[in-house]
Every structure is written in C-alpha cells, then in structure tokens.
C-alpha cells in the first residue's frame, strides 16, 4: 500500500476472526487517524509509529455489549462506570438497557454518553422512571407509569442514542397489570420503528389479590404482542417466568415464535445465568442472537463497597464473578463454536442496532474499534448463579481494545481473575 505518512498503529501477528467479512486467519491491521486503513497478510514493510505484537491473541471487531447498566449514580446501585464496563474491559460499545427514560435521556446524553471513552447507546425505558432500582418500587412500573406519547417523541428526537425500547414481562408484574405495559411498550416501539426488548424472569413478588400466573400463561399472552425483530432477554434465567415452562419443557409457542416470527434472543447474563437451563435451551435448538453481559452494581464486586448485606439480599444479586468474556467462555464450554460466540458480540449486535455499516466488522475505512482477546487453555472453574460449577478447557480474557484508534488496556476491576480448577 502507498501512504504519505507512517501508520499510527499496526497490530501484527494476531489471529483475526471477523464473521461479518468471513476473515479468519493471520492478518495485520493498520490504523491511521483512528480509522482502519489496511487489513493485509503482512504490513511488515509498511512504516508505522507503533507496532503491537499480538501473536497468540485473537483480534476481533470491537465488542458490543447489548445489555449494560451504566447510568451511573442516576440509577442508584445499578449504574456502573461506563468505561470500566466498556473500554477498560475490552468492550468498545455499550447498550444501556432501560436506564434512561423520556424524563432522563438528557442527563444520559450529557453525563454518560458524551464524556465516556466507550461508545454508549441505549434502549430507552418504556417507564417514566427508567431504571431507578425498580425492584424496590414495583408500583412505579405499571401502566400508569408509562407515557407513550412523550416517550415516542423523545425517542424520535434522540435516535442517534436510542436504538430500542425496554420493558419487562414477568409474573410479578403480570399478576398486577396483565400485559398492559407490554402493549404500551409495543405501541412505542412500533411508532418509533425500533425493536422492543423484553426482560423475562421474575423480579417482583406476585400480587396477594391475584392468582400466581404460570410461565405458560405469560408466554401465551406475551408472544402475540411481539413483532419481528423484537428481543427476548434472559433465555438461560434461573428465575420463574422464563423460557422453560412450569413442567420443565421449552414452551412450544416460544420455539415457534423464535423460528417463524424471527424473534431474537439476547443472553442477558447477569445474575440469571444457569448452566442447566442453558443446556436445555441450546439442546432445543434456540441459539441466542446476541450476548449481553447484564453487569450492574448488584451482581459484580464493586471496589470499596460498604453495603454488601443490602446487595446480597437483592433479587438481582449474583454469586458468580463474570463479565462479557466470562459469558463468552461459558457458551464456548457449552459447545457453541468460537466464531458463533464472536458473532454474538460483534456483527449480530451491530445488526440489532441497525449500525452494521459502522460497527461489527474490521474493514478498511471504518473507525478502528477493535478488541484483542487472549484465549487461555487449561482447566478453569466457571460458576453459574444457581451454584453449579463446571471445569472449562478454554477461558476467554480481554487484553486491550482500540476505540477509534486509541488503546485501552483491560485493567478494569470488573475483569474477574482466572480460577484454575
């Protein structure tokens, strides 16, 4: 290649896996002025200001976490530091799930998205209160807490940030309000031409004045409301009201919806993840489309936290240290091929966000958003949130990322230490 000045950075000797382009092998990547300018078998003859030897590492498009909680301070203990979840964990793009609402999107833009080194987007909450620790105040999350007209207007005014609508379908809320909130959420999603992202798995106690709904009943009422391209989250949840029926089987209506209506599935790991449920879902032929980590202040270890007892008593709390690459390692252990796992954090979320022309691929002319991973071989202990431990032979760990060409090492306190089995 010809170039008038040296490249800023060359990543050399790494194994590139880019499912969007089909590239899988040894490639060098050249970056200049924050943009990818070369992807080649070798750039050793090209002058560069900095060469980074990534031999023994996998180089992939910048990872996209489709389920983040980073509206720091505003959403109470839920909101984590965006850059500790993002670039300092090897992740270049975060999608906050339901933190900002039509009332708080301005603060999200100016105090979270704008100053963060990570790219931060959002699925705006259908609820006026957004992600204000809703587990404590379920009465705020009923139909009276939703304003479709205002949310539609605000979402349309902020489409550079707002990429979807977030709502909850769980048996505690269903026992109080039925599916009214989901219907309003779909009204918002349809009017804005955005996907509706639905949380599954019980959060709130059921109403004392109503029969406890069954998982089957919830699915029968929920799925007809959903449209093609909408997302169901937490397929591997250990909580009631998920993909598994009360009889322990995968809902037939759910299988049909995923296969015929093209309803998408996001892992939404969080404190939900169960190896047992994951095996059942994968064996049934349901493959997640995207892999969100769902890290928040109740399921990760926060340095210097003083409220451990309060956090432990919370229904969102988890017992297993994790991040996005641990979630990837778990899927790899469950038999999902590496390239398919990488799709879930690169090109697939880019499609969900309708940003596949910008994100999810390493291609000349694109912004240099690149994640570099180390896949270690050995015997590693992985734990789910029901207490099951497994021994994995592969562990995916973040090394660093380039975000718009700038390097960030994976030094976040949220990156768990490897536990040797």
- Dig out the tokens for 304 from the structure: 């210097």
- On whether 183 is known to bind a ligand per the annotation, the reply is no
Q: Report d(CA 377, CA 159) in Å as an integer.
A: 42
Given the DSSP bridges, would you call strands 196-199 and 231-233 parallel, antiparallel or unpaired? parallel
Q: How far is CA 10 from CA 27, 63, 88, 356, 402, in A?
A: 10, 19, 20, 24, 11
Please name the helix (run of DSSP H) or strand (run of DSSP E) that holds residue 333, with its range, or none: helix 324-333
Q: Is the dihedral of CA 206, 207, 209, 210 positive or negative?
A: negative
Class of residue 356 by CB neighbours under 10 A (exposed 0-12, middle 13-18, buried 19+): middle
- On whether 166 is known to bind a ligand per the annotation, the reply is yes
- On whether 73 is known to bind a ligand per the annotation, the reply is no
107 with 86: CB under 8 angstroms?
A: no
Residues 6+ apart with CB under 8 A from 206: 171, 172, 175, 212, 213
- On whether 409 is known to bind a ligand per the annotation, the reply is no
Angle at 170 between CA 168 and CA 172, to 5 degrees: 120
Provide the 8-state DSSP code for 36. Answer: E
Nearest Cα residue to 98 out of 307, 305, 316, 281: 316
- On whether 294 is known to bind a ligand per the annotation, the reply is yes
Q: Report d(CA 235, CA 274) in Å as an integer.
A: 9
- On whether 199 is known to bind a ligand per the annotation, the reply is yes
> Which residues are known binding-site members for Zn(2+)?
67, 69, 166, 199, 234, 294
Annotated binding site: 67, 69, 166, 199, 234, 294
């Amino acid at each position: 290649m010809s170039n008038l000045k040296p490249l800023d950075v060359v990543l050399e000797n790494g194994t590139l896996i880019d499912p969007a382009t089909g590239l899988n092998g040894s490639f060098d990547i050249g970056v200049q002025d924050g943009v990818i300018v070369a992807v080649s078998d070798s750039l050793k003859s090209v002058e560069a200001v900095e060469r980074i030897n990534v031999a023994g590492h996998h180089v992939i498009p910048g990872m996209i976490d489709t389920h983040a909680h980073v509206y720091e301070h505003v959403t109470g203990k839920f909101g984590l530091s965006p850059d500790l979840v993002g670039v300092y964990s090897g992740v270049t793009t975060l999608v906050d799930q339901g933190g900002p609402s039509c009332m708080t999107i301005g603060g999200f833009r100016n105090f979270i998205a704008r100053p963060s080194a990570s790219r931060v987007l959002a699925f705006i909450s259908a609820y006026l209160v957004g992600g204000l620790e809703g587990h404590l105040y379920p009465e705020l999350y009923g139909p009276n807490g939703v304003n479709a007209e205002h949310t539609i207007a605000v979402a349309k005014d902020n489409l550079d940030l707002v990429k979807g609508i977030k709502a909850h379908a769980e048996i505690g809320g269903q026992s109080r309000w039925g599916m009214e909130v989901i219907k309003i959420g779909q009204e918002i999603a349809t009017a804005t031409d955005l996907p509706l992202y639905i949380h599954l798995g019980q959060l709130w106690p059921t109403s004392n004045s109503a029969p406890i709904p069954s998982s089957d009943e919830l699915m029968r009422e929920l799925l007809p409301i959903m449209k093609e391209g909408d997302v169901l989250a937490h397929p591997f949840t250990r909580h009631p009201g998920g993909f598994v029926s009360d009889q322990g089987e995968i809902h037939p209506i759910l299988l049909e919806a995923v296969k015929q209506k093209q309803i998408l599935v996001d892992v939404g790991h969080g404190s939900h993840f169960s190896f047992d449920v994951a095996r059942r879902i994968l064996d049934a032929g349901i493959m997640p489309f995207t892999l969100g980590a769902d890290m928040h202040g109740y399921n990760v270890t926060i340095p210097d936290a003083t409220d451990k007892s309060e956090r432990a008593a919370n229904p969102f709390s988890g017992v297993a240290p994790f991040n996005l690459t641990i979630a990837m390692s778990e899927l790899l252990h469950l038999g999902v091929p590496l390239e398919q796992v990488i799709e879930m954090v690169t090109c697939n979320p880019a499609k969900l966000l309708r940003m596949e022309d910008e994100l999810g691929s390493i291609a000349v002319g694109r912004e240099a958003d690149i994640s570099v991973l180390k896949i270690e071989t050995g015997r590693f202990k992985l734990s789910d949130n029901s207490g099951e431990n497994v021994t994995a032979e592969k562990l995916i760990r973040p090394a660093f990322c380039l975000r718009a060409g700038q390097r960030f090492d994976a030094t976040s306190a949220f990156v768990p230490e490897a536990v040797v089995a």
